[in-house]
Every structure is written in structure tokens, then in C-alpha cells.
Structure 1
């Protein structure tokens, strides 16, 4: 059952409480509190997804309430209200983690926009919390699968792994149905199944060209289908019409770089369709299963266009999941933009002994300007990069990941764009940083000579680093808007005083 989200309004003056509630009609229902003690009690309700908090109240101050809210519910978005003269109080609230600031007297439209942003941000924070939990569960799944086949002959591993795989996939992704199919001649045969109302013994192999799973067999990436009945790729496939929701993920399963089968999950029961995060988790899990079935390390995905095949560093799927978890955790520890970005980059720099930098597009100069860097040793990346030159420019313009060990051998190589500060070419891994489909900048990872970052690891880092950039930009924009409002009010006051 879906819980109706609510906004908690905290103000000691009844007039303001009710005025805010009335202004938010159509945006969100509200709960009202006249003091800090009542507010903290009401905030225990998980339906409360945003708080509008007056900073000056008798008894518990707004700062005290904010500190306690941040302790109890870190992902909850808090909008603080204050008088125009209380700029220092507002800045203290922002340092404590407040998400926005509004000056009294309030403007209804400004209030509605701020609350809508806060509700969206809370839901995003909840998604990150969910992702962290799923990453931890994924790590446990890897350990369980490895224990299940330890010491077993390769030929016996499929029978041991198959039932565990479908149960684990369904649990991690919140799917009502999951199945594992393997190649049998020109057909795909279901070897394990959870959910659905068909017995495994009643299923017969289906030619790959005719089955829904055949769409993913031998593919380069997980296929995400939101509605089977309406997706043109599914036309003419006899398996259409067998899904409760029509939403499914199809992951190619390769063993020793050769197509082996397909993992299918369908009918999410978490109240939302499968998203890009679900597809990424399934891709990581499929790579681990392929590794266990082949008896070796998981095969890495092919390097994207404009890249040469690197000599991969030995990074297991469990390490990849742990790295992503550390990046997500670091993102929650800082608020100030540069500190947040540096904290996010630190686990990557340590893992690969690399220089890692984030560059954001600068509209005035047309260049990529370094916003944060985490160094290892004495090396450093450039402070500015051309946005339209070299392999780095290719990433900024197209949003395509570039991974090269010897960038100087690429025809698009530009020494001013594709080398660090010392001008010496070396392994270059450039990731697009995107928000709502728009490339805002790039992240560069420069490992030592002879070390390469696995392409799949780079792919799973893209959404995490993009989220860090989004958070940093939101905070920077908020502080700037507060300073602009304060400046405008001071100027207006000086004009009236003349």
C-alpha cells in the first residue's frame, strides 16, 4: 500500500501555520506543529517527507529542532523560515543540512516550488538509502553463491546455482517473477524459475528468435522493457501476454566471453517499474554468475567506441559493489560542494591509486573547469580543459564513456585535453556526468602507467558521480540565492532610508 506523503509545518504562530497549509493545497497535505517537541513527535511518521520549520520559536529553537531532525531522519528535507535580517542563522541552518530557505513574509508560489523540490529530494534520498541496502544484500548474495559452488566441478555448478540465482535476483530487485534460461542448440531452455503459475517440467525450449529472452541473448547490455505488450521489440514473440505488469528486465549471461543464457525478471512489486539502477544491479549479478559458471574472473564488458581494450586490473564483482557502496556513503557525509565531491572521489582514488577529478562545463569560457580533485602522490590533473577537443571533448559532447590505456594512439587524442598537468600521456578514463539527460561535465580517472579501470566499473560509477554533482550544484545554487535575496533586501532597505 502506498503511503500518502505529507509536509510537516512547524511555527509557533497559528496564522503562519494555517497560511502555509492553505498555500500548499494541491501540492501536499500537511501536519501542523506549534513547537519543537510536537514537531519531533510528528516527524516520526514515515509519511512526512518534508518539513517547513520556523527558526525562531519559544522553547526549543529552530536550530535545536533541525539538529534533532537531522539525527533521527537524515534524508528528510527541511526548509527553514526566518526574517530577512537573520542571515547568519540561516547560514548556520544550511551548514547543519537544511535544504532550502524562505524569508518571511512568504510568497505562495515560492513556497509551493520549494516544497515540491524538497519532496522530490526526499524521495531521491530514500532511493539512495534503498540502493545502499540492496548493494549490501548483493554482496551477501555473491558470498552465498561462491560458497555454494566452492570445490564443485564446473559441470555441476549450473544445477547448484540456478535455483539460488532466481531466488536471489527476485529478492534483490523486488520482482514477483524471475527465471534463468540457458542455450540449448538454437533454443533457450528454462532451468530455474520463481513465481508464475507454470511448473518447470511443463516448459519446453523455445527458439531464441521467437522468445522474449532471445532479445537479450548475446546482447551487450541489459534490456529494460516497461510494457511488453506495447514494445515493438516484443512484436511476434509468443511469450507476450504472460506478465502481470508487462515490465521486465532481460540480462545476457556470458560464460568466458561466450553467450550462455539469459536472466529474466518481471513484475516488480515495489510499486514502481524497473529503472536504470535495477538494470545496473542485474548486470553486476549476471557478470558474477558468469564468472562462477566459467570458473574464472567475471568477463569485463567490451570497451566502448573510441577506446582500446585495456589490460584490466583485477577487480571482482564484490569489490565493485563495495566501491559503489563507499561512494554512496561518502556522498551523505558532506554538504559543502567541494568537500562533497572530494569525499565522493576519495574511495575511487584509493581503490585504483589514481588521480580523480570532476570538471563542470563553464558557460562563460566554454571550457571544462575543475570543481574537485583527489590526488594520489605528486600527480595532478589540469585546472581547465577544452570542452570541444580530444577524447575528453568527445565525452563532454556525446555523453559516451571513454576508456583507453594509450590515448596517444587514438586519432582524436589531443595532448592539451587528454593529458594531466605534467603533459605525459597515460591511461585515461573519462566518464560523463549527466543530470536529467544533459551532460554537465566529466569525471577523469588517471591510474598509474600500466593499470586500467575495468569498463564495467566505470559504467556503474557514472550514476553515483552524477548524483554527487547534482547535490553539489543544488547546494551551491541555494547558498547563492540566499546571498542574492539578502543583498536585494539590504539594497531595498537602503533605498527606503534615503
Structure 2
């Protein structure tokens, strides 16, 4: 019975444009309170699982893993403070809102100290209740995505290390196949995907052909070939941008491109493989095994894998100008390296250089994610993330800018630098190399920025101090670029384009946390106003 109810809850309702992925558990012995919560939330498409006791709450929580719990402060069979702690252990990350009587001030204070997110006074005010629950769902969703991202990065780092060892032991004819298979396996594990395929353009560039796959009932050679622009994969290739589809049936971009009944579920994530600014393949995942559609964190992980595949397939040396910002329009050698000579240039690299770079990038992403969880106050989150970049790259000066809607400029939100180094307080949105990163949404690395024709002396230099290389990393949020982080690199810095992409994705997650926190603070005034209206 409970499983059927859970399935219904996961399919029903929409919050902030997404399906109700957070299950709401209401724990209370007062029937009027339980009914009131359901009546308030139902018009918003939010459905609850009510229980009448602490014992039942623990049993149901074990089975449904709630994202939000509304918990009465006084229960006949349990201490609400003890129950709060137990529920947090059973369903880590769940957001608990206490429901209290007027005389329960001490209980509420104790509950807030022990991890409760908020409290609502009885009788419940509809607007206040809706706001509190919606904010709790957003906080739970962010924590869930953050944990998935952190676990996915760790999974990719571990698998990439194993793959590097397998490639070193492989013969020439096996290397390209093992590389493709390893990336597909890492994508399936890190993203919880039932089906994964890695598709590459053939040498004339006429067809996308499957190089490696998992979860399919046929071998890669038996799978359909696709014209660029056709199907979801062909669309992602021509789009040349990562793409996440929550529900293909309701997404006007792709609903006419999906073959009916081919996949279980309508969620996809796709990342193009790009060399020298030109797409040469697509990494695709579908059929989420988590019970939820793929989200932004899946896109971050897929982009990371796509870049790792490209770097391994186009290592420094023979194709060192891959992704160059010099304006070189030479055709990318997309498929030619996929024969037995694909990884020849690895033999001339300093031992362990590629592996060391991938390990550094994974550690960088993990450290930035850790800053999000360890800090709460917005400026501390930003300062910690910027500090991680400065020490890891290394860089003499790192600054984070967010778009100011009032002035139409980029405003510096956080900065860290050495003695005598300082960055500009404001920057134009569309000038120089910095503006180019904002415009394209792609990280930009230039070790000799003054040689680039797009260099703008008044924008791409620090306010104080000398500079060497420049790395610009766009900050993305809900499909758009809302800012940029730029690092003036130390003279000894040695980076790849992949580092910028990985840092950009992790920094975007950190900024999401800051924006969420600021939104929550702003909502306090709304809640206070609602409470005043209710008491009046």
C-alpha cells in the first residue's frame, strides 16, 4: 500500500516547474492539523503522507525517505526532539518543520538548535505554510543535487584512475575501444543511468555511429546510425551545447525527435564532444535508475566525462592547439585518431601528466563542493570557493563577479589575491576575453592573453599588479550565464581547458547555494508579513 502511495506522490504535483520529487510526511496526533496541511498544500499540487504517531513516522520514513517532514511539537507516544534526530538519520537531508502551540517556545528553540529548518504556529496560516514548505523543498532538492554531484565526481575520479591503468596495459588496437567503453561505464555508474551511448562522427562527417554503449540489447555495430541534426543525439551535436531533458513528451525541443517506446522514461542528458571548437560526437545517458529525471548535476558530470574523453583522445602534443582561442579554424581531426594510433602521443608525455591533471581537477571540484557544505553565510561560501581556486591553480588573483540587473554590469562579489594584487570592482558584460566567456558560456584559457585580438586592456587586466595567464569561468544558473570567475594565473601554472570547465561547473553549484540562501533570507520578510497578517 505504501509503495503505491509513494509512486503516486512522485508523479504528482509540480514545484518550481519540476515534478514533486520531495515526499512530504506529516506527523501529528491532531486530525485537524493533518487535514489542514493537506488542504493548504493540495491546491499547489503538493501531496502528503500523514501519520498519527512517532512510531508510525519512523516506520513510514524508512520506506518512503521523505524530503520534508512537518512534525508536531507534542506527540502522545514520542519526544518530538528525539524523533527529529531519528528522522534526520533515517532520511539524511530531509527538512523538518515543527508545528507548535503558542506555549511551546522552549521546545521550538531546542528543535531549531537540533536541526529543524523552521516552525509554524498553530492554527496554520495558509500562505505561511505554503511558503515554508516550498522553501523546504527547494533546500532539500539543492542538498540532494549537491550530494549527487559530489558522489558522481568521486565515482568518476576513481574509475578514471582505473581506466588509466587499463589503457597503459592495452595494445595499440585496444586503446580507443577501452577508452570509449571506460567513459560509458563511468557515466552509467556516476549518473545512475540505465542506458549510455557514446557516438562519434564517421570520418566524412556524414553519420553519427555508436562507438560504445551500455544497457542496450544490441552491440554498438548493430545500433542505428544517425544523421547530424536528427534524433535527440543529432540535435545535441548540431546544438554543440550540453542538453538535459526532464520530460521529452513535454519538451518542445525534442518531443518530435524521440522514437516512441524506445526508452523507459522521457529524461535524457547529452553532452557534445568538442575538439577545436567543433563537435565530433555525443555522450548520451537515458533511463534514470534513481526514480527521478536527470538534472543539472547530471549535466555537470556528463560534461566532465566528455572533456576527459576529449583530452584523452586529443592529448597535448600532436594536437596541442585543440580548443585554442587563437581563432584557428583548422578542421578538427575528429575520427582519424580513433584508430590504432589514437593514443600514440601519450607515449611522449611526461609520465602521469594526464592522470595527474584529471586527479587535480577532480580534487578541485570536490574542494569547491566541500566549501558549499561547510559554510552557510553567502560571503564565506564565495570566499572559500575563490580561495580553493587560488591555491589549486595556482593563481595570483581570483575574483568572482555576478551580473548586476540594475547597472547591466558585472559586480565583484568576492576576491582573493597576493600582496599588491587587486581586481576591478565592476566590469562590462560584453568586452574583452572576460566578456567572451560570459557571452559563450564556455571557459576560456589564454596563457598569453595580450596576444589575443579580443584582449581588452581596460577589462582583462587587474586593477593593481602584474598578470600572466588568464582563465575565465562562466557561472551558470538555470540555463543562463549570470556571472564569471576569472583567475590571473601564476607564472608556473600549467592548466588545460578541462580545468576551466570543471571549475566552472563546481563554482556554478556554489553560487546556486548562495542564491538559494539569499532567497531564503528574503523570504523571511514574506513569512513575517504573513504571520502579521494572520495575527491581525
2:48 corresponds to which residue? 29
Which secondary structure state, in structure 2, belongs to the residue aligned with residue 146 of structure 1? helix
Q: Give the one of 345, 360, 371 matched to 1:319.
A: 360
Distance in 2 between residues matched to 1:258 and 1:388, nearest whole Å:
22
C-alpha distance after superposition, 1:408-436 (max 9, x if no partner): 55566555544334253443333333333
- Give matches, 1:79-158, under 5 Å: 79-80=97-98, 98-100=116-118, 102=120, 106-158=124-176
- Give matches, 1:202-281, under 5 Å: 243-244=262-263, 262=281, 265=284, 267-270=286-289, 271=291, 274-275=294-295, 277-281=297-301
C-alpha distance after superposition, 1:164-187 (max 9, x if no partner): 554444444413353555746666
Are 1:8 and 2:49 an aligned pair?
A: no
Which secondary structure state, in structure 2, belongs to the residue aligned with residue 302 of structure 1? coil
Deviation at 1:108, TM superposition (A): 0.5
C-alpha distance after superposition, 1:110-164 (max 9, x if no partner): 3123313322432332232223222222122212222222243433423544555
1:441 corresponds to which residue? 483
2:498 corresponds to which residue? 456
Deviation at 1:281, TM superposition (A): 3.0
| Pair 1:446–1:60, CA change in 2 (3 A) | farther
Which secondary structure state, in structure 1, belongs to the residue aligned with residue 156 of structure 2? helix
1:52 corresponds to which residue? 70
Distance in 1 between residues matched to 2:103 and 2:480, nearest whole Å:
38
When structure 1 is superposed on structure 2, of 414-423 and 108-117 the one drifting more is: 414-423
Deviation at 1:367, TM superposition (A): 5.4
Distance in 1 between residues matched to 2:508 and 2:375, nearest whole Å:
16
Distance in 2 between residues matched to 1:260 and 1:438, nearest whole Å:
21
When structure 1 is superposed on structure 2, of 37-46 and 152-161 the one drifting more is: 37-46
Distance in 2 between residues matched to 1:104 and 1:252, nearest whole Å:
53
Distance in 1 between residues matched to 2:249 and 2:167, nearest whole Å:
35
2:469 corresponds to which residue? 427
Number of aligned residue pairs: give it: 484
| Pair 1:8–1:258, CA change in 2 (3 A) | closer
Distance in 2 between residues matched to 1:492 and 1:190, nearest whole Å:
61
Q: Is the 8 A contact 1:359 1:370 kept in 2?
A: yes
- Please tell me the root mean square deviation across aligned C-alpha atoms, in Å: 5.1
| TM-score, normalised by the number of residues in structure 1 | 0.73
- Give matches, 1:359-438, under 5 Å: 359-362=401-404, 368-373=410-415, 375=416, 377-378=418-419, 380-382=421-423, 384-388=425-429, 390-391=431-432, 392=434, 401-408=443-450, 417-438=459-480
2:510 corresponds to which residue? 468
Distance in 1 between residues matched to 2:482 and 2:201, nearest whole Å:
41
Deviation at 1:459, TM superposition (A): 2.5
Q: Give the one of 334, 341, 351 matched to 2:375.
A: 334
| Pair 1:430–1:159, CA change in 2 (3 A) | closer
C-alpha distance after superposition, 1:212-261 (max 9, x if no partner): 677777995556677599988999x9x96794357666666679x79997
| Pair 1:80–1:453, CA change in 2 (3 A) | farther
Q: Is the 8 A contact 2:29 2:76 kept in 1?
A: yes
| Pair 1:109–1:390, CA change in 2 (3 A) | same
Distance in 1 between residues matched to 2:223 and 2:526, nearest whole Å:
66
Are 1:284 and 2:304 an aligned pair?
A: yes
| Pair 1:242–1:305, CA change in 2 (3 A) | farther
| TM-score, normalised by the number of residues in structure 2 | 0.69
Are 1:176 and 2:170 an aligned pair?
A: no
1:310 corresponds to which residue? none
Which secondary structure state, in structure 2, belongs to the residue aligned with residue 468 of structure 1? helix
Which secondary structure state, in structure 2, belongs to the residue aligned with residue 321 of structure 1? helix
Distance in 1 between residues matched to 2:261 and 2:465, nearest whole Å:
58
| Pair 1:301–1:340, CA change in 2 (3 A) | farther
Q: Is the 8 A contact 1:6 1:31 kept in 2?
A: no
When structure 1 is superposed on structure 2, of 82-91 and 130-139 the one drifting more is: 82-91
| Pair 1:116–1:12, CA change in 2 (3 A) | same
Distance in 2 between residues matched to 1:260 and 1:437, nearest whole Å:
20
